[in-house]
Structure 1
């Protein structure tokens, strides 16, 4: 399989939660296959944007490989890096609205999760091709703070390091006035959420030619 971009995700290991996310979005990133969605009116339309990424939390955002790098070297580097990172945890997860979309976010102290993400962003940055001028301009259209613009320039993405907020995305932008409806709908389909929420592995994923992401390898955090 040839991939156009790569990323480092957290993929839930709890079967009930992973199964919920795959079915809710209609794509199982871990099994690399479509999954029938619940028979909920308009669910397909509000999940169309996140579906191609699968149910995940981003740690290092999608990137193209830098010149002179290849997938085999990236896989080895990701394994080596994971061996130096200690696991992290928070008190649990909760369903919430983030801006215009829904996500599961960690509850309690998230410093450990931010530590894992920062290590992935920095530790694998040599594999990231620099953002193009068009990519930078597209990001800046959303209106970035000076700090976010500096992060975009340095790391190719504005919402990393100090601006990072871990989340497991459940929808794309919701139609105006429908947030409460979709919060209730998602809540009704959620399995029991794990207390605590444990991040003990990271996943290397790749973007296929059809735009969907699939798991390449999971790596235990053993630092």
Structure 2
């Protein structure tokens, strides 16, 4: 399989949370296939944007492979990195609205998750090709702060390091007057959320020719 971009995600292991995420979004990132969604009006529409990525938490945002680097090199580096990192945990997960989209976000101290993401961004950065000018312009159109502009220039993405907020996305941008209703509906479909929530593995994922992401390999955090 040929991939245009790669990313380091947290992809929940098989269980109730993973089953909820793949059916809610309609895409199983772990198996690289579509799955039926619940029969809810407009669900397919509001999940169109996150569907291509699958149910995941971003640790290192999607990037193109730098010249002279191979997928085998990236796999080896991800394995080495995972072997040096400790699992990261927080008290649990909550269903929240981040702006106008829904996500599961950490409850309690999120510092360990942020430090895990920082390590993924920093240590695997030699594998990241410089972003296209069009990508940079699109990011800047969002209205970045001065610090986010610095991060975009250095790391190719503005919401990393201290600007990072771990989340498992459940929708695209929602009309403001529908956010509460969708939050209530999603809450009724959620399984019992993990308590505590522990990230003890990272996943190398790739973007296929059809624009969908799929799991390439999981790596256990063994530091």
Task: Give the TM-score of the pair, scaled to structure 2.
Answer: 0.99
Return the alpha-carbon distance in structure 2 between the equivalents of residues 176 and 201 of structure 1.
35
Return the alpha-carbon distance in structure 1 between the equivalents of residues 193 and 132 of structure 2.
40
Return the alpha-carbon distance in structure 2 between the equivalents of residues 24 and 98 of structure 1.
18
> Is the counterpart of residue 119 in structure 1 residue 126 in structure 2?
no
> Is the counterpart of residue 32 in structure 1 residue 32 in structure 2?
yes
Q: How far apart are residue 134 of structure 1 and its match?
A: 1.5
Return the alpha-carbon distance in structure 1 between the equivalents of residues 20 and 131 of structure 2.
34
Specify the alignment match of 1:179 in structure 2: 179
Return the alpha-carbon distance in structure 2 between the equivalents of residues 95 and 23 of structure 1.
17
Specify the alignment match of 1:56 in structure 2: 56
Report the 3-state secondary structure (helix = DSSP H, G, I; strand = E; otherwise coil) of the residue aligned with 1:177. helix
Return the alpha-carbon distance in structure 2 between the equivalents of residues 183 and 29 of structure 1.
23
Structure 2, unpaired ranges of 5+? none
Q: How far apart are residue 14 of structure 1 and its match?
A: 5.1
Q: Deviations over 1:7-35 (max 9, x none)?
A: 00001125100000000000000011111
> Is the counterpart of residue 109 in structure 1 residue 109 in structure 2?
yes
Return the alpha-carbon distance in structure 2 between the equivalents of residues 21 and 48 of structure 1.
14
Q: Deviations over 1:56-86 (max 9, x none)?
A: 0000000000000011100010000100011
Q: Deviations over 1:130-152 (max 9, x none)?
A: 11221111110000000000000
Runs of 4+ off more than 6 Å: none
Report the 3-state secondary structure (helix = DSSP H, G, I; strand = E; otherwise coil) of the residue aligned with 1:157. coil
Return the alpha-carbon distance in structure 2 between the equivalents of residues 2 and 13 of structure 1.
24
Number of residue pairs aligned between Structure 1 and Structure 2: 223
The within-5 A match list for 1:123-142 is: 123-142=123-142
Report the 3-state secondary structure (helix = DSSP H, G, I; strand = E; otherwise coil) of the residue aligned with 1:147. helix
The within-5 A match list for 1:202-217 is: 202-217=202-217
